[in-house]
Chain A
Amino acid sequence: MDALYLRRRLTNALALVLSTAATLVGLAFLAWILWETLRQGIAALDLKLFTKITAYGDQGGLANAMVGSLIINVVGIAIATPVGVLAGTWLAEYANRTRLGETIRFLNDILLSAPSIVMGLFVYTIIVLPSTALSDGNTTFSGFAGGVALALIALPVIVRTTDEMLRLVPSTLREAALSLGVPQWKLTSQILLRAARSGIVTGVLLALARISGETAPLLFTAFGNNFMTLDPMDKMSSLPQVIYQYANDPGEAMHALAWAGAFVVTLFVLLLSLASRLLFTRKVSHD
């Protein structure tokens, strides 16, 4: 074996070993993070998490934060879903391969990774500040404002999946319907969106998974509230915001509560992404 051949073999072996090591490092960190969340979260699980509110501090639970998270997420998804589906439909069906459509599709991709804290400040400026001015200077953070901030983060996810799923629908379906004289609005809303339904639902689930762990945009919009409230126009706490607050607290008992909250959020997010994955593979295997 000459030296060149040996060197090439060694380089190759080294590269393959390093790439395997890189994968193992990635998997090790995943396992480490999940393991700590699981261990510390389960240790802190308690019935009072679900029955008591955060006003009791380390003697309390997270009931109001869970309800708050639920309401804020529902508001976010309720705003983002119709807007996102319609916008995605426009990109796929009306503006595909036009310059304007390409530009908006491009900007949507950028919005997809835009810093969420800036979106929080944007909603603070357009909703919290005006409503503060309307209510004689009392700062009016609200669950609704938090929902709008989350909607801005969910929107590009839904737009993108709707757009991609509609473009997967075979054009024979469009041609068949159009040749029967079906108007385009009816074709789009009743045939194409129905054909792409499971893909769009996947997108909505992914968007929900994305926003349910978001913290930064809620800090200046929903703000937080130590008491239970169902009024979306009131300050509202959410799980991520309470985790943030409790983790920065010096008390050990607060840390345990934060871990319990982290466990609940992680479980919810992972189950959602699992659900969306199952839904999508089922759709693919149909085709």
Chain B
Amino acid sequence: MPEPVIAIAAPEHRATRDARHDRLFAGLLKACAFLVLAALLGAAFATLWGGREAFDTFGWRFLTSAAWDPGSQEYGALVPVYGTLATSAIALLIAVPVSFGIALYLSEVAPRWLRTPVASAIELLAGIPSIIYGMWGLFVFAPFFAEHIKPWLTTYLGNNPDDGNPSWVAGHVPFIGKMFASDYPFGASILTAGIVLAIMIIPFISSVMREVFQTVPTRLKESAYALGSSTWEVSWDIVLPYTRSAVIGGIFLGLGRALGETMAVTFVLGNAMDLSASLLDPGASIASTIANQFSEAVGLQKSALMALAFLLFVVTFVVLLIARLMLRRLASREGR
């Protein structure tokens, strides 16, 4: 509302007004940018605060205990932490070589006209919501796994459930027998979740790898070709060493996704709060435990779930930090 005092006052100099508006505008933008910082710090503090009761009650035992019993109010993080790490490790073991193959195919092998459509199709995989992976895993892949893959694994790699005798492989390699033994007839297991996670993170890792492979200077590759190298030798001895840090960054980026993934895992992990040496038994991950139990949890159980979320957040933060630092290293060498 125009006040008479202002109307009489000498008109403000335009430069002064502009400078004031500039300051206000810059302040507004800066405040918004700090919200990003606030979101990260807030998430860390909120989960730490929510988990304080569990941390107070159990102390370091929370990290080492495999108990998860609402009846006796005993909670330990070992089972979900193990499930998270095991599924992510399996996912990486599968996804890294496959992604490298895809990136190699798209940057060196495929005919030029095929590269863009295939790359877009693979990136489409990244756009599919995780709940769709979960449903597909639950209704399509887990039954398929139980019927076709699991019997094969238990017969040839595991301690055979029929006669109790180890298979040839299990007889010769330690631990393998226990890892692939299961008398549980369904498809939900740590290995199933690992495979579904692998499919989810393949597009992330392969698109990072493909992008960084394209940053390798052509003259480097051409020099190697001129000396008689094969495509594989150029990829393995020239392209990969040149892009090593960014490739590791891409792998860690995929790991960060895999660790925090909730829906795809919850559907196919079976949600059993027991520690089992077998990859074919159901398990639980941090995210799946929270998704399954948080709505009904009260008191100490809710606090234990919050504490789990804090652990997950810290671990993914560190993994993603390493990923971004590694990616940045190549970018700074490129002068970008």
Q: Which residues of A contact B (CB under 8 A)?
A: 8-9, 11-12, 15-16, 18-23, 25-27, 29-30, 32-34, 36-37, 40, 82-84, 86-87, 89-91, 93-95, 101, 104, 106-111, 113-119, 121-122, 125-126, 152, 155-156, 159, 183-186, 188-189, 209, 212-216, 219-220, 223, 240, 243-244, 247-248, 255, 258-259, 262, 265-266, 269-270, 273, 277
Contacts and interface: CB of A to CB of B under 8 A. Distances in A.
Contacts of B122: 23, 26-27, 30
Contacts of A12: 230-233
B34 interface: yes
B271 to A, nearest CB: 10
Interface residues of B, number: 89
A243 B36 contact: no
Interface stretch (B57-65, B129-137, B151-159): B129-137
B20 to A, nearest CB: 10
Contacts of A90: 26, 29-30, 32-33
Nearest to B318: A110
Nearest to A185: B25
B299 to A, nearest CB: 14
Contacts of A19: 100-102, 104-105, 108-109
B36 A159 contact: yes
Given A33-B136, A110-B321, A265 B129 contact: yes
Interface centre among A20, A22, A156, A189 (most CB of B within 10 A): A22
Interface in B170-214: 199, 202-203, 206
A117 to B, nearest CB: 5
Question: 4 shortest A-B CB distances, which residue pairs?
Answer: A213-B129, A115-B260, A22-B101, A90-B29
B37 A118 contact: no
Contacts of A109: 320, 324
Interface in B97-130: 97-102, 104-106, 108-110, 118, 120-122, 124-125, 127-130
Contact of A247 (B19, B36, B102, B135): B135
Interface stretch (B5-13, B73-81, B215-223, B290-298): B290-298
A104 B34 contact: yes
6 contacts: A22-B99, A83-B32, A113-B257, A213-B129, A240-B263, A265-B129
A22 B35 contact: no
B165 to A, nearest CB: 33
Contact of B320 (A113, A119, A258): A113
B47 A212 contact: no
Contact of A121 (B39, B46, B102, B235): B46
Contacts of B324: 106, 109-110
Nearest to B253: A113
Given A118-B313, A262-B135, A23 B101 contact: yes
A216 B263 contact: yes
B26 A94 contact: yes
B40 A216 contact: no
A209 to B, nearest CB: 6
Interface centre among A21, A25, A110, A223 (most CB of B within 10 A): A110
